[in-house]
Amino acid sequence: MQMTALGLAACLAAGLTGACWAQDLKATQRLSETQIGFDLGGSYGNYTLGIVGPNGFHASAASKTGTPAIDLRRFGKYDDGAYSYQLTASSDEKVPVRTPLDNGRGGDPGDSRPKAVSLSGQFLVKGGTIVKPSGAQPTRLDKDAR
């Protein structure tokens, strides 16, 4: 079981770095005390939301039609610290398939597929509650600040 959790965390971490290249999923993060969800800014489907956090915490949820939300309490114990998430989906836009594979199911595999889109980010848990980001801009205190 621990190896499975470690493998999932490694896959999600590797996916997070890849998703940073093109965050083209138009969605706004929605945070409550222990839950993270998203408000969409477009037409998508086939969602997957993955979260990794301190001390091996990992959670995932999927949905074909609506954005999944994750309540941290439903996945067992969780600790204070930084958490990373990745939300993936498919858009209505089609992209060409360059090398169609025979999946063994018969029929034509097609020459296009839905475009994959993703969004990743972080949030902080403190005192057992998700800390909502402030609208304040960081300030520089060095002599070169203008």
**Cα dihedral sign for 17, 22, 24, 29?**
positive
C-alpha–C-alpha distance, residues 80 and 52, integer Å: 12
2-100+110-131 folds as: Immunoglobulin-like (2.60.40)
Sketch the domain layout of the chain as residue ranges: 2-100+110-131
pLDDT, one tens digit per residue, over 80-133 is 999 999 999 998 888 888 777 777 777 766 788 888 899 999 999 999 999 987
User: Which of residues 136 and 69 earns the better pLDDT score?
Assistant: 69
pTM, to two decimals: 0.69
Given a cut of 80, whether residue 2 has pLDDT beyond it is no
pLDDT, one tens digit per residue, over 38-93 is 998 878 899 999 999 999 999 999 999 888 999 999 988 899 999 999 999 998 88
Nearest to 114 by CA among 128, 98, 93: 93
